[in-house]
Amino acid sequence: MRYGIVGTGSYLPSTVVSNEAIAERTGIKASWIAERTGIHQRRFAQPDQATSDLAGLAAQQALAAAELPAELLDFVILGTSTPDFPQPATAVIVQAAIGADHAAAFDVNSVCSSFVYALDVARGLLAADEKARYALVIGADIYSRQLDFGDHRSAVLFGDGAGAVVLGPVDGEHGMLASRLVSDGRLQDLVKVAGGGSRNPHTPSSLMTGAGYFTMQGRAVREYVETTVPDLLEGLLKESDLTLDDIDMVVPHQANAILLRNTFARAGLPLEKLHLSCGHYGNTAAASIPITLDSVVRGQGIDRGSLVMLLGIGGGMSAGASLHRWVGTSAGLAAA
């Protein structure tokens, strides 16, 4: 049986943070931010909101779109690198909040690639268990609390948010067709939060030196994106006996609009097929793909049968892509 996305949802915090506001904190001109990143604003979570809160709200939207009660979920898988706590998994907090009482729940952390990794894990679990039918896959992050605003090249990029999809059995030739995941641990230092784990637990002195802040070597990350994305696309399409011309839509991780447009243009993808949301929401890390996908679904819509590629790039370094023959609504569900 094939499994596909049968419902999407997203949640963006209400606080809009403009480039002008970020410029005041970083000392960088607002015009520089827009010109270098294509980002004009982002959302920051309220002080009393945690990652699980954002994730739960996006999950409820996805379940409503799929017309599926939470108690029918078999798995709740949350992609995040900003969990509520070091333990337990943030997914179990979401599971309790939405009433998915029969679901196994756990987190996946591949930084900004977490959603595409979690989606592939969900498909594998559903395919391996003949009794399982539905998985809720969420990407959610709150990066605003670990940004160093003295590091303007990173601090200008990120926003907070959550997106979710319901993966379920679908009819005919629709659903998730193929995927490809890659990692290169030799590049582990390019994207990092150095403190808080067993290698470097938080202490007063480590916090004073900024070990809890997110860091990124921007130029090296850009080089990774520019070399890895074309190879990833070529490999996945070759395995699927497809070409870029066959792809109707690409929804990438929303790292930086300028970088994405340049990278995909060099790869030969017509830019009208590339969907971006980072101009309004910034880089929402693991949430960026499902947020963007949901914005397309609820905006212009996606035609049934369209070939959609989801593509993530994250720390580790890691990257992943998956191909979907769009079914998109509960009307496309296979018979229970």
Q: What is the CATH number of the domain that holds 17?
A: 3.40.47.10
278 catalytically annotated: no
Mean pLDDT, the chain, whole residue set: 93
19 catalytically annotated: no
Point out the catalytic residue in the list 19, 109, 256, 283: 283
253 catalytically annotated: yes
Distance CA 103, CA 136 (A): 9
Per the structure, how many domains does the chain have? 1
Point out the catalytic residue in the list 19, 109, 174, 253: 253
The mean pLDDT value for 219-242 works out to: 92
**Is the pLDDT at 204 greater than 50, yes or no?**
yes
- Provide the pLDDT for residue 329: 60
The mean pLDDT value for 218-238 works out to: 92
Secondary structure tally for the chain: helices H, strands E? 11, 13
| Confidence band for 172, pLDDT divided at 50, 70 and 90 | confident
Q: Is residue 48 packed enough to be buried (19+ CB in 10 Å), middle (13-18) or exposed (0-12)?
A: exposed
**Is the pLDDT at 336 greater than 60, yes or no?**
no
- Model pTM score: 0.94
The mean pLDDT value for 200-225 works out to: 87
Point out the catalytic residue in the list 112, 256, 278, 324: 112
**Is the pLDDT at 123 greater than 80, yes or no?**
yes
- Provide the pLDDT for residue 142: 98
| Confidence band for 333, pLDDT divided at 50, 70 and 90 | very low
* Nearest one of 322, 278, 332, 279 to 302, comparing CA atoms: 332
The mean pLDDT value for 74-99 works out to: 98
Range of the domain at 59: 1-336
